[in-house]
Structure 1
């Protein structure tokens, strides 16, 4: 696997020896969250588009990279990482500055729980392959399906965020965390499926604060090279 070599100085004195290759799709929520995490860490990566619309992810070439046939995948030299939660945890361990998880054990558990509401309870039900199956087998109104599970998860998130009297402008404190990395792509999806976000003022405020940061803005689906030209 060819990877362009370079050296890049990172915060905390670490050096990135190679430019990683990110295999992803502009509208994929898991790809979106990984782009945010890489940007927050200040890591260079080569954008490699995998077109889900033409089912490129199911072809032999991509499955040789990731046998599961899902995006994203991150190539770092001869190492290929899959599954966005595992990749983000790997990034956190390999490039710990700036951190996406707080120092305290209890606080880390809270942030992981917020992220899991999106990553485990909302996104898997609204994944493209699930929606395709519902459309083909049951002629399902997939927009209503998606909105149902986004609303269920967001109602819980909004309650937890509103109850946290110590929260700053982000999900936790004054800097983005793993929870924000997961939340913002889900808000993007909620808008796509016309979820009424007026019911979730804390979520909307956090999304607005995140998107004032360059790391989040540059990761937006509409700005990716494989996004349709307006």
Structure 2
């Protein structure tokens, strides 16, 4: 009995919200690397990220947070790099330096050039001050601008996935961003044929599909894909 409790305490813990694209990146990585983890839901709409207990893990009050024993990491990019160094199975970065740089660039483009503009606090503020129509226009503008840049960036590297026929870091950022763009913000993907093609590949990959919002334990029944 004691050994079972000990093994359970060693399991990775992921504080996540079903619809968080940042959390989804980490869920994909955990799946790719075959790592067992405990999913701990944090309901952002109910403000659970502002609880004193959660703020001890991440003072900013954002998900995801990964707990690995005594180690606590509260940023999706930092979590992915930590997992990459500690768990080398299924590398998230290619050996080729050029393609490695493109992966980092694409990942950063999504995280700092698209996703940050659709965070709940941001869009909530714009919706309150300017109305829901202006909020949607704001989000769509930044998504479309970012997707157009990604089409150009990846044009000379993409295969089945972002930088060839193997899954790497860029794909972990692209898959949830595209999924959210289509389902939440009504983005028309015909303008982005390269990203559309990659999205079809993501839908066929179990590590991606199992990590998608509708397949999470805290997803509302109306959103569940099961």
The normalised TM-score by structure 1 is: 0.89
Kindly report the root-mean-square deviation, in angstroms, between the aligned alpha carbons of the 2 structures.
1.7
| Secondary structure of 2:144's aligned partner | helix
Structure-2 residue corresponding to 1:169: 160
- How far apart, CA to CA, are the structure 2 residues paired with 1:45 and 1:27? 18
Other-structure match for 1:11: none
Q: Which residue in the other structure is 1:136 paired with?
A: 128
Alignment match, 2:105: 113
Counterpart pick for 1:146 among 130, 139, 147: 139
Q: Tell me which of 198, 203, 219 is aligned to 2:190.
A: 198
Corresponding residue to 2:85 among 59, 71, 93: 93
Q: Structure 1 residues 105 and 228, CA, compared in 2 at 3 Å: closer, same or farther?
A: same
Structure-2 residue corresponding to 1:157: 150
Residue deviations 1:183-211 (CA, integer Å, cap 9, x gap) = 00100111120011011111011111122
CA distance in 2, matches of 1:19, 1:103: 29
Cα deviation code 1:89-122 (max 9, x no counterpart) = 1111111221110112222111111111101100
C-alpha distance in structure 2 between counterparts of 1:212 and 1:109, whole Å: 26
Q: Which residue, out of 57, 70, 77, partners 2:62?
A: 70
Aligned-residue offset at 1:6: 3.2
SS in 1 for 2:23: helix
Q: Is the 8 A contact 2:57 2:74 kept in 1?
A: no
Q: Does 1:6 align with 2:7?
A: yes
In the alignment, the residues of structure 1 paired with residue 6 and residue 198 of structure 2 have an alpha-carbon distance, to the nearest angstrom, of 36
Task: Kindly indicate which of the two structures has a greater share of residues assigned to helix.
Answer: 2
Residue 210 in 1 paired to residue 202 in 2?
A: yes
Taking the aligned partners of 1:184 and 1:64, their CA distance within structure 2 comes to 30
Q: Does 1:181 align with 2:172?
A: yes
> Contact 1:4 / 1:19 at 8 angstroms: preserved in 2?
no
Structure 1 or 2: larger strand share? 1
Whole-angstrom CA distance in 2 between matches of 1:56 and 1:142: 24
Can you give the 5+ residue segments of structure 1 that lack an aligned partner in the other structure?
Answer: 8-16
Structure 1 match to 2:26 = 34
SS of residue paired to 1:169: coil
CA drift of 1:5 comes to: 4.1
